[in-house]
A and B are shown apart, each in its own frame.
Chain A
Amino acid sequence: MTNGNKHTRREAIRISALAGGGLAASWSAVSETNSAINQFFKSFAHAAESEKVFSLSPFLKLHPDNSVDFILDRVEMGQGTATSQAMLLCEELNYPVEQVRILHAGVASDYNNSMFQAQMTGGSTSVAEGHEKLRMAGAQIRERLRLAAAQVWKTSVENVDAQAGRLRHKQETGLELTYGELASRAVEIDAPSVELKGWDVHTQVGKRIPRLDAKEKSTGAAVFSIDFAPENSVVAGLIRPPRPGDVLESFDAGLALSSPGVIAVLAASGGVALIAERYWQVKKAIALVQVQWNSSKALRLSTPELEQLHIKASLEDGQSGRSEGDWAGVHRKAEKKLKADYLLPYLAHATMEPPSAAVRFNESPSTKLDIWSSCQSPDTARELVAESLGMGRDDIQFHNTYLGGGFGRRLNPDYIVEAARIAQAAKDKIAGRALQLVWSREDDLQHDDYRPMAACHVLGSVDDKGKLSSFFFRQASQSLLKAFAPMTIQTLAPEWFPVGISSAIGKAAAYFGSSYIALEGVADFPYSCANIGVEYAPVDLPIRVGFWRSVGHSINGFVVESFMDEMAHLAGVDPYRFRRAHLSDTDRRASVLDQVVRNAKWGESLPPGVFEGVAVHKSFESYVAEIVRLSVQDNKVKVHEVYCVVDCGRVVNPTIVEAQMRSGIIYGLSAALTGEVPFVDGKPQVNNFNDYQVLRHDEAPTIHVEILASSEKPTGVGEPGTPPIAAAVCNAIFRATGKRIRHLPINRQLT
């Protein structure tokens, strides 16, 4: 796979770029990738010659029988990458995408997401970052096949037509070959430079092609992480520290060890692991283990104290993310003004599939450790396992599977590192057998890396013309990068790079980059106003936090779009008109807002008891406006309908875009209504879906989605549906009840 020496210089450049300016990469990295793919062709292709399948690209294997394997660089976790990425390549390749077989890629730098410089699925970037490189890969393979046919027919390449997986001689009818028949020849041919097709001539991209994984997911055939463990595996569970900072002191496994099927109980990965033959044996026996924790350095705070900490921080000076004019002076002198404090809770991800990972140590000299799991960042997983076990990166093979929901949770490979550590610690007890660690739902909810709690202090004023005159926003929350930056930098660094230094660089990146992430969606406050201040106040707590669908936008979308309604109310102006008056006509937010207002017939009469609310937000370069219609009865909210208009630039598959808007809306709505992880004495008070309630079918609104036609470059859809929904709902609730909700979740506020 990757040769450490060859990539040293490139990786060193990446590290310094990262330390310099956060985790964003420039678009020029895409063209750099194109030439890198070109150079990589030959070495990659030659390596695969022993099998009767030809690797014509890191993304494609061609069989002599003309079947195609598409190697998926991004994990498929519901967002549709298996289909959209394949469509992009097949469009240029001129091969029907319905016929490809999808294989998840292993770890290799060819699959890096240039936005992160790592093999990461997230940030709604798969299509945005990959479309050019995948189309180019398809085009180059097509051209190599045409050249191969031209060789065979001793004609010029202009006389060769490549369509639907077959090559034809344009002049001599009857001269035809399949792609597969030319694979062995094409492999020897360099790709010429080639122009991509125009978007307007696409025959597959842009069409409602049914998802390629729909069939296996409708028959029970799709394999998820929890479904795969090699023959003769053992199963493990792990008892983890109940509080952040709890340290294992002692444990008593007497009863557990004599429980049926139990193989071992041992300290591992900071907790106590129990290994048995089958899951049910683990589940029964693990309850019998008595564990003593030393809590002297653990978090002992409860939610009211955590909230107070955040609120206090939100009232003190923070790091500036934006500063224009004199917001403080203008606000002080203003007649019509408002001060508002918003509070958002810790949120769990609650993916449908609880985390799991299977690992096996091998005697084989090439792959010392195999890992089977599903993950949004397999290279980080491999790196942390390698570091933890004192192995080389190339000693480890990572096999990715379908992922039963990511939402940002599976960017953190903690469950994979745990499995490896347990297997390592129990090596003599399991004697070469694979070990599968399975998390329960309770484990998943209690040991998640939560969406951070946030306290937002907001000030605003309007002038006598009803226009915004000042806007100030300060968010206090835990930094997401504190844990993630060091692990990511370490992943990118060459193997010889000292872990201590990566860690230090990571901490620096976290310090400089944290406000960038925390303030996303508010630092770019789009409404016209001469006096703006935006700040971030980091809160230092040991609670594990991570990326939760739309990240900083999940907080800032709610606060900004709620506050805009509050300002509209202060100015005595309709919420849509107020926003519209502060947006330029060329702002893409204005277009989606105008369209959703048309679709929902905003302002027209509604059935009795039904009220509407609006919100618009840009995230991950896409623009989404939502209007909600709901009723409030007996202090319960019933959301009837959501109208959604999205501008995500050029669209690969409209069915998938619509599904992602619905998905983001339902996910955000669920959290807004009932989502929170309360803490008592440092312990998260959640167990299962009885107390972490999520939106069910009988509570779901009907969702109408329209995709605005656009010739802008394709941008993300996995997350952008989420940021506006909580504000749209609370804005409607205000109209219904006169009550302004600034503290989520909603169900606590309406009683």
Chain B
Amino acid sequence: MKAMNSQEALKRVRFRVNGAEREVELPEDTPLLWVIREELGLKGTKFGCGSGLCGACTVQLGGAPIRSCQLPLSAVADQDITTIEGLAQDGVLSQLQEAWIQRSVPQCGYCQSGQLVSAAALLRENPSPSSEEIRSHMAGNICRCGAYDLIEAAIQDAARLNAPAEKEQP
């Protein structure tokens, strides 16, 4: 049965995922989402729509949030990819993740990987975002459970933790 199939035009691509060197050999149009999930076995990044509309597949490419279902493998050669699994460092959760847990932000949880990766990218770019900036940046991440209020609150919590220390009041 397999002999009947046309040969896949495979491409060997090297890139870094969460700081680790990875190499895969797959058709170059394979979306990064499926490379991450099926080839690398990292299931935290989710499939929600396959059309770049819902944000569940969000990863960071060189620190910038992108929809991995729309990015072909060929575009990630020698690039740095960060997935949800990469937000924690050496088993220590990021402040954003701690805020998420303290606030009990996740409900069903399916969109949350994408939400966190998007939020982490926002805070790196803009450590003190306004409510409007948060809402605008996060608009690409759908949450059908409606956790938007708490997502925003957790982002603000993390932003406050990282704010420069207040001057001592006399």
Known: A219-B93, A279-B34, A697-B151. 14 other contacts (CB 8 A): A218-B101, A220-B42, A224-B109, A260-B7, A280-B34, A352-B54, A352-B56, A352-B143, A404-B108, A659-B107, A666-B145, A667-B145, A688-B51, A700-B148
Q: State in angstroms the CA–CA spacing of A688 and B112 once bound together.
A: 20
Are A689 and B51 in contact (CB-based, < 8 A)? yes
**Which residue on chain A has the smallest CB distance to residue B104?**
A211
Given A210-B104, A690-B53, A219–B97 Cβ distance below 8 Å? yes
B30 part of interface (Cβ distance < 8 Å): yes
Interface string of B40-78 (1 = CB under 8 A from A): 001111111111011010000000000000000000000
Interface string of A671-710 (1 = CB under 8 A from B): 0000000000000000011100011111110110000000
- B interface residues, tally (CB under 8 Å): 65
B156 part of interface (Cβ distance < 8 Å): no
Q: State in angstroms the CA–CA spacing of A260 and B113 once bound together.
A: 31
Given A78-B145, A217-B106, A665-B146, A226–B6 Cβ distance below 8 Å? no
Within 8 A of B (CB), among A247-305: 257-264, 278-280, 283
A567 to chain B, nearest CB (A): 31
Are B104 and A659 in contact (CB-based, < 8 A)? yes
Are A352 and B108 in contact (CB-based, < 8 A)? yes
* Listed residue (A262, A280, A351, A354) with the most chain B CB atoms within 10 angstroms of its CB: A280
Q: State in angstroms the CA–CA spacing of A406 and B84 once bound together.
A: 23
> In the assembled complex, which residues on chain A have CB atoms less than 8 Å from the CB atom of B34?
278-280
B16 part of interface (Cβ distance < 8 Å): no
Q: State in angstroms the CA–CA spacing of A441 and B136 once bound together.
A: 24
Interface string of B107-132 (1 = CB under 8 A from A): 11111110010000000000000000
Are B31 and A280 in contact (CB-based, < 8 A)? yes
Are B144 and A352 in contact (CB-based, < 8 A)? yes
Q: State in angstroms the CA–CA spacing of A667 and B112 once bound together.
A: 17
B13 part of interface (Cβ distance < 8 Å): no
A38 to chain B, nearest CB (A): 34
Q: State in angstroms the CA–CA spacing of A352 and B144 once bound together.
A: 6
> In the assembled complex, which residues on chain A have CB atoms less than 8 Å from the CB atom of B104?
210-211, 214, 655-656, 659
Are B50 and A440 in contact (CB-based, < 8 A)? yes
**Which residue on chain B has the smallest CB distance to residue A700?**
B148
Are B139 and A405 in contact (CB-based, < 8 A)? no
* Listed residue (A257, A264, A403, A659) with the most chain B CB atoms within 10 angstroms of its CB: A659
Are A688 and B49 in contact (CB-based, < 8 A)? yes
**Which residue on chain A has the smallest CB distance to residue B56?**
A352
> In the assembled complex, which residues on chain A have CB atoms less than 8 Å from the CB atom of B7?
260
> In the assembled complex, which residues on chain A have CB atoms less than 8 Å from the CB atom of B147?
659, 662-663
The one of B30, B100, B136, B145 in contact with A352, judged by C-beta atoms closer than 8 angstroms, is B145
Are B85 and A220 in contact (CB-based, < 8 A)? yes
Interface of B is mostly: loop
The one of B110, B146, B149 in contact with A224, judged by C-beta atoms closer than 8 angstroms, is B110
- A interface residues, tally (CB under 8 Å): 68
**Which residue on chain B has the smallest CB distance to residue A406?**
B108
Are B135 and A220 in contact (CB-based, < 8 A)? no
> In the assembled complex, which residues on chain B have CB atoms less than 8 Å from the CB atom of A224?
46, 109-110
A227 part of interface (Cβ distance < 8 Å): yes
> In the assembled complex, which residues on chain A have CB atoms less than 8 Å from the CB atom of B112?
217-218
Are B49 and A441 in contact (CB-based, < 8 A)? yes
Q: State in angstroms the CA–CA spacing of A222 and B113 once bound together.
A: 10
- Name B residues whose Cβ lies closer than 8 Å to a Cβ of A: 1-2, 4-8, 27, 30-31, 34, 37-38, 42-51, 53-54, 56, 83-85, 87-88, 93, 97, 100-102, 104-113, 116, 134-136, 138-152
Q: State in angstroms the CA–CA spacing of A280 and B50 once bound together.
A: 10
* Listed residue (A259, A402, A665, A688) with the most chain B CB atoms within 10 angstroms of its CB: A688
**Which residue on chain B has the smallest CB distance to residue A255?**
B6
Are B27 and A441 in contact (CB-based, < 8 A)? no
The one of A214, A227, A405, A440 in contact with B101, judged by C-beta atoms closer than 8 angstroms, is A214
Are A689 and B102 in contact (CB-based, < 8 A)? no
> In the assembled complex, which residues on chain B have CB atoms less than 8 Å from the CB atom of A350?
144
Interface string of A202-234 (1 = CB under 8 A from B): 000000001101111111111110110000000
Q: State in angstroms the CA–CA spacing of A227 and B41 once bound together.
A: 9
Are A218 and B5 in contact (CB-based, < 8 A)? no
A150 part of interface (Cβ distance < 8 Å): no
Q: State in angstroms the CA–CA spacing of A588 and B59 once bound together.
A: 47
Q: State in angstroms the CA–CA spacing of A689 and B107 once bound together.
A: 21
In the complex, 11 of the A-B residue pairs with CB atoms within 8 angstroms, ordered by the A residue number, are: A210-B102, A213-B109, A220-B42, A220-B84, A222-B109, A259-B6, A351-B108, A402-B109, A662-B149, A663-B146, A697-B151
B71 to chain A, nearest CB (A): 13
Given A217-B112, A258-B6, A698-B139, A210–B48 Cβ distance below 8 Å? no
> In the assembled complex, which residues on chain B have CB atoms less than 8 Å from the CB atom of A564?
none
Are B8 and A261 in contact (CB-based, < 8 A)? yes
Interface string of A21-57 (1 = CB under 8 A from B): 0000000000000000000000000000000000000
A521 to chain B, nearest CB (A): 21
A659 to chain B, nearest CB (A): 6
Q: State in angstroms the CA–CA spacing of A503 and B155 once bound together.
A: 52
Within 8 A of B (CB), among A646-665: 655-656, 659, 662-665
Q: State in angstroms the CA–CA spacing of A663 and B106 once bound together.
A: 11
> In the assembled complex, which residues on chain B have CB atoms less than 8 Å from the CB atom of A667?
144-146
Q: State in angstroms the CA–CA spacing of A653 and B108 once bound together.
A: 16
> In the assembled complex, which residues on chain B have CB atoms less than 8 Å from the CB atom of A283?
50
Q: State in angstroms the CA–CA spacing of A279 and B101 once bound together.
A: 32
Are B49 and A214 in contact (CB-based, < 8 A)? no
Q: State in angstroms the CA–CA spacing of A549 and B14 once bound together.
A: 46
Are A697 and B148 in contact (CB-based, < 8 A)? yes
Given A404-B109, A405-B108, A697–B43 Cβ distance below 8 Å? no
Are A221 and B44 in contact (CB-based, < 8 A)? yes
A353 part of interface (Cβ distance < 8 Å): yes
The one of A226, A279, A403, A690 in contact with B108, judged by C-beta atoms closer than 8 angstroms, is A403
